[in-house]
Amino acid sequence: MSENEEKKTPQKLINSGWNFIDFPNSTGFSLLNDELRNEINENSLNTYYVIIDIFEKLIEQCGNNFDFSNNSINFEQYLDFFQKVNLMIPKLSHKIIIEDIHEMVYFIGDTHGAIKETYQLIQFFVRKIRIFPKLKIIFVGDYVDRNPNDLENLALILSFSLLYPENVILIRGNHEDRLINQHYGFMDNLLRTFYNQAEYLYDEIIQIFMKFPIAHISQIHSKDGKTARVLTVHGGIPIDHANFLEPVILDEIKDSLICEVEESKDMDPYTTSMLWSDPDEMIRGILTGDHLQGRTRFGAPVFDAFMQGNHLDLLVRGHQKWSEGFKILFGGRLYSLFSTASYDGKPRFQPKILKLIYGKAPKLISIEKNSLDSELEEK
């Protein structure tokens, strides 16, 4: 089989729309029946079926009170999964993605291994996509670290994104980084589970992280031809420290960004800023220094100049913890999201996601059953 033939197969598989899964209201998810399994196997390579297989097993484990020891996924299965993900995700060609969107857009903040919230969101989004097939879902990064089930969380989000490639965008956060993963839990979790095989698995995972774009611009269109431009980054805006009141123009820097590396210390300053910087309403310029551990802070004048120079209406980001799951800054032009209830394995937050529709006020939605069920009924 040629290389081209091999790469065409998963595209046919993931474009199926998952119409063969039944999602009853009582249980949320059901498993594939034998007839449909056979149909998939007849029309696709078994080697890529691991994407569906891992997705289904994780859904089953989540539905079984998040018991990941029951019908556990072994090292060989995970390795095969991440290898196939690497084959299906192309090399990073656009570090800043620009998309025209004519439907609603949902934004998900840091998930940090929060498998329970991720499971709830995927149940919700699968149903919502059935009603609005062109809706967009943007994850702002930080899929691992800080919680014990970060491997499962990452695999569930990756498989979901590959099953719905026209709907789901994953951008890179500052925790999609080898050095950070060695200090904040992900590598330790892999070592506890797979011992000396953990490094082989991580080598595949870091290659996936390097393929994630750094930023996404949603050009959300109205029915009468108007457009709102929304920038999504994990951290903040790119900043020229030597001339911070002069806005950095994304179109001018997009081709020179250095982000296909394993660690942020090897990235260019603009990419590092988009991953690590934070908004601060208490300052007018920027604040930097060793005490901030590389997290440059930017004030309203710097932010306003950047937004105006890039013709942007709103910025959505993650990166910071908020007890209510969100923070609105700079007169409502910046939304900061946090979409995990637990941190370091302990419940601490009230996680939120954000919904945008042109002409309507931004809507914050709690990640809990009643809120998501209510949202499912809205148009």
266 alpha carbon, distance to own chain's centre: 22
Let me know how long the chain is: 379
Give the pLDDT score at 3: 39
Express each pLDDT in 91-114 by its tens digit: 898 999 999 999 999 999 999 999
Give the pLDDT score at 246: 95
Kindly list the domain boundaries of the chain, sorted by start residue.
93-377
Spell out the residues 6+ positions from residue 116 whose beta carbon is closer than 8 angstroms to its own: 62, 66, 341, 342
Which residue shows structure tokens 């556990």?
A: 72
Spell out the residues 6+ positions from residue 221 whose beta carbon is closer than 8 angstroms to its own: 100, 101, 102, 227, 358
Give the pLDDT score at 218: 98
Give the pLDDT score at 185: 96
Give the pLDDT score at 256: 96
Spell out the residues 6+ positions from residue 173 whose beta carbon is closer than 8 angstroms to its own: 110, 140, 141, 142, 143, 234, 235, 275, 318, 319
Give the pLDDT score at 345: 82
Q: Collect the ranges in the chain with pLDDT lower than 50.
A: 1-32, 36-37, 39-47
Give the pLDDT score at 147: 95
Give the pLDDT score at 295: 85
Give the pLDDT score at 9: 33
The CATH topology of domain 93-377 is Purple Acid Phosphatase; chain A, domain 2 (3.60.21)
**Amino acid letter at 96?**
I
Model-level pTM? 0.88
Cα 337 to Cα 315: distance, rounded to the nearest angstrom: 11
Give the pLDDT score at 44: 37
Give the pLDDT score at 19: 32
